[in-house]
Structure 1
Amino acid sequence: PRLIIASSAISFTNHSFFGFIEETGSGKNLKIRLKKAEQLLKEWSKNYTYQKNKIRNFYSMDDVEVSERKLNDYFKENQISYAFSLTSGASRVAPFLRYKRIFAYVNNNINRIAKDLNLKEVSTGSNISFLEPYDEGVFYYLQEVNGVKVVSDIQLYLDLRGYMKRGEEAAEFLLERRLRKQW
């Protein structure tokens, strides 16, 4: 999995893949491992923004906690591919920020979701943002936290780095608390 993610990262940077992998052994004993994972992730984040996805903003009268529960239940009941990210994802895996806006990647059916849940599409003052992914990679290595799907820690880091409202701090918190432990 790390090499798949690494190859995606390389496509976003101007670096050679071979600067980030290390080979040991040969033949059947050949092992390839990712080295400089943190450096690769930081380079990737310089060339990535969640805003490249199509973002549709909505308003709900419910508070964030109630809205997230309703969305999660709706997604499951209707078998809709989804994953919470940014503030909504970080609050579950590495709580650092208080937030009033929900972010969820959703593959399709946004008009139906909005209609069924009585969400109003708005240009300002949104408290729910659906991100239509330009790439299916956001759904790779999803994690489930208390029955809620969240993007992978790497995807969450990338999304947070580009989030203006203390996102960079939250990304660094995630890096310290979770990602470095995996390397």
Structure 2
Amino acid sequence: MLQDVEKHLTRFFAEIPDLGVTTRREPSSRHGFRPDIEVRLRRGDRRAVLLIEVKPSAELRIVHDWVDRLAQLPEAPDAHYPILCAPYISVKAAEVLKSHRVGYIDLSGNCWLDLGFLFVERSGQPNRFKVPKEQRNLFAARASRIVRTMLEHPGKDWTLQELAQTSGVSVGLVHRVAKALEERLFAERRWGRFTLQDPGGLLDAWRSFYVEQRIRWRRYYWAMVQDVRTGMHEIASYARELEVRYVFTGPAAASLLVPHLMVSAIHCYVDALKPVLLDSLKADPVPSGGNLWFSVIQREDIFLGSHQIEDLYVVSDIQMYLDLSALGGRGEEAAQTLRERRLQF
């Protein structure tokens, strides 16, 4: 992506007369800000240094977070300008940036730069990177298998055939998803192989989509549980006996990976919620709260990547992060801890 941005910047500044330009990729950190590209401009005796940070998306949430982070950094010296660059910056995102006097350049042809000796504004250019409708939802059930597989192996190079076989989907679907990932600058293709270039951005996008979905949890109060770990083993024992497929998620599952998490409920996916299972547990349904949450899931993707810890099946780290994020509150805090310690992107 940085190579594409550099090419765009070269063409962009070449159109401005009497302007000297020097570009350097991935310069050192400056004043607490680490740009992806540094552009030095000169016209006569005037100078400016553009500290350009490249984002795969300029959604409003991302733009707000970015300007908030800038506000917490030491003020840049004169003639040094943080600039946001993305494939497309919408009118609303542009308004946010301009209201903070922060410049931007997008790869679709829009820009706003106010450097004192140089002012450039271009607007109204459509999003050249808009994903076609049939490719828009990267996180639909079958498409998300591909995203999940790549996020679980973020540094791996794939052929489309390898990715299709590992994800359990058709090569045609992999091709469409791969194209969408490339267009949104989450991934790139080189020498016939395909790899993620922004796993963190892709996970952020999936989280934003996922938290808006409504996982239907059935809540119960389980008076017999002694402690969370013992309760999980008891549920697993009954599930095996009744041939119910299960997998734990949420804070209870995360506590097996990250010690010292506060756990107030057990969350468990099952492929069938048999009355005999609830009778065996002596669990009573409650309209809210509860310390035992079940969700009946028959989609295979939820179970993909699940593994055993202490003889208990738990969801993959990616799925656990999504579920914790969707729970909100302390779940979000646990999600961030899991991401920092386990996912590390």
- Normalised by the length of structure 1, the TM-score is 0.82
Which structure is higher in helix share?
1
* Aligned counterparts of 1:125 and 1:3: Cα–Cα separation in 2: 32
Asked if residue 117 in structure 1 is aligned to residue 281 in structure 2, the reply is yes
Instruction: Please tell me whether residue 21 in structure 1 is matched to residue 187 in structure 2.
Output: yes
Deviation at 1:37, TM superposition (A): 0.5
CA distance in 2, matches of 1:132, 1:51: 15
Aligned mates of 1:50, 1:88 — CA distance in 2:
22
* Worse overlay, 72-81 or 43-52: 43-52
Q: Please state how far the C-alpha of 1:49 moved relative to its aligned partner.
A: 2.9
CA 1:170–1:105 in 2, change beyond 3 Å: closer, same or farther?
same
Aligned to 1:38: 200
User: Is 1:47 the counterpart of 2:209 in the alignment?
Assistant: yes
Q: For residues 85 and 117 of structure 1, what CA distance do their matches in structure 2 show?
A: 19
Conserved? CA contact 1:53–1:134, under 8 Å:
no
Identity over aligned pairs, percent: 30
Pairing of 1:121-140 with structure 2 (within 5 A): 121-133=285-297, 135-140=299-304
Give secondary structure in 2 for the equivalent of 1:120.
strand
C-alpha distance in structure 1 between counterparts of 2:277 and 2:213, whole Å:
21
Compared CA separation, residues 3 and 126, structure 1 to 2 (3 A): closer
Match of 1:143 among 307, 310, 314: 307
Judged with a 3 Å threshold, the aligned counterparts in structure 2 of structure 1 residues 37 and 158 are, in CA distance, closer, same or farther, namely same
Distance 2:327 2:221 in 1: 20
Name the aligned partner's letter for residue 37 of structure 1.
Answer: P
* Residue pair 1:58, 1:119 contacting (<8 A) in 2 also: yes
Q: Does 1:177 align with 2:341?
A: yes
- Displacement of 1:17 in angstroms is 1.6
Q: Give me the TM-score of the superposition, normalised by structure 2.
A: 0.45
Greater CA deviation, 159-168 or 33-42? Answer: 159-168
* Bigger shift: residues 61-70 or 145-154: 61-70
CA displacement at 1:159 relative to structure 2: 0.8
Greater RCO (Cα-Cα under 8 Å, separation 6 or more)? 1
Structure 1 residue 80 corresponds to structure 2 residue 244? yes
Residue 140 of structure 1 deviates from its aligned partner by 0.6
Please tell me the root mean square deviation across aligned C-alpha atoms, in Å: 2.6
Larger gyration radius, structure 1 or structure 2? 2
Instruction: Return the alpha-carbon distance in structure 2 between the equivalents of residues 106 and 24 of structure 1.
Output: 40
Indicate if the aligned counterparts of 1:23 and 1:32 stay in contact, CA closer than 8 A: yes
Taking the aligned partners of 2:242 and 2:313, their CA distance within structure 1 comes to 14
Check 1:105–1:6 CA distance in 2 against 1; reply closer, same or farther (3 A cut): closer
Q: Is the 8 A contact 2:238 2:280 kept in 1?
A: no
Aligned residues: 171
Question: Is the contact made by 1:92 and 1:145 (CA closer than 8 Å) also made in structure 2?
Answer: yes
Q: Is the 8 A contact 2:145 2:301 kept in 1?
A: no
**CA separation of 1:119/1:53 partners in 2, compared to 1, >3 Å: closer, same or farther?**
same
